[in-house]
Amino acid sequence: MQGVGPAVCLGNDIDTDLIIAGRYLRTKDRSVWAEHVFEDLDPALAGRLSGAIIVAGRNMGCGSSREQAVVALREAGVVGVVAESFARIFFRNAVNVGLPVIEASVACTDGVRVAFDLDAGWVEVDGERYPARPLSAKMVAILRAGGLVPYWRSSR
């Protein structure tokens, strides 16, 4: 499983409230979450996410279990999220909605080319290749299916 796109660099401890605020949760309309993604962190970010790869620091996605956070990123067109470490519910949610997550410690500059290969276990930032921590076989299978819902349907 591979992806490529320009980097959007974020810091440490990006919580899910910052990804999508509590006031936007009461809807089933996923476009609302994509529209308001990162609004309380930097309203300009939403416009840069389509086709991009987020590169964050430590503890990405901490806080609330809200799955709307990973759906917002996916609906905004994010190709994958690279982080030095992830909060566990965010990590599991991302896989479940088919959003690739890559645990790797990398240097980031906004806009540089990022590429990843989950099967081979690497991520490349601005031509520099870094090792990525491997996912469990089940997680890779769920991601490959496009998330837990399609995985469930295909395995019945």
Partner 1 sequence: MSTLSERILGAPAGAYVDHEVDIAFAHDGTGILTREALREMGVDRLPHPGRLRLIFDHIVPANTGTTATLQAELRGYARASGIDLSDAGGGICHQVMSEGVVRPGMVVVGADSHTCTLGALGAFATGVGATDMAAIWASGATWFRVPETIAVNLTGRLDGPAEAKDVALAYVAKLGMEGATYRALEFVGDGAPGISMDGRLTLCNMAVETGAKAGMFYADAVAVRHLAEHGVAASPQAVEESRYEQEIEIDLAGIVPLVAVPHRVDTVREAEEVAGTEIDQVFVGTCTNGRYEDLARFARIVRGKQVAVRTLVVPASRAVLLRAIATGVLADIVGAGCMVAPPGCGPCLGAHEGVMGEGEVCLSTANRNFRNRMGVGAEIYLSSVATAAASALAGVIAVPEAV
Q: What is the binding site for partner 1 (CB under 8 A)?
A: 13, 15, 17-18, 21-23, 25-28, 40, 58-59, 62-68, 70, 85-89, 92-93, 96-97, 136, 138, 147-149, 152-153, 156
If phi > 0 it is left, if psi is from -120 to 50 it is alpha, else beta; for residue 2 that is beta
Question: Do residues 146 and 153 make contact, with C-beta atoms less than 8 angstroms apart?
Answer: no
**Residue closer to partner 1, measured from CB, 5 or 75:** 75
**Residue closer to partner 1, measured from CB, 127 or 156:** 156
Considering the complex, what minimum distance in angstroms separates the CB of residue 88 from partner 1?
A: 5
| β-strand pairing of 53-56 with 122-125 | unpaired
Q: Strands of 29-100 (E only): list them.
A: 53-56, 80-83
Contacts of 154 (CB under 8 A, 6+ apart): 145
**Residue closer to partner 1, measured from CB, 5 or 14:** 14
Considering the complex, what minimum distance in angstroms separates the CB of residue 31 from partner 1?
A: 14
**Residue closer to partner 1, measured from CB, 5 or 99:** 99
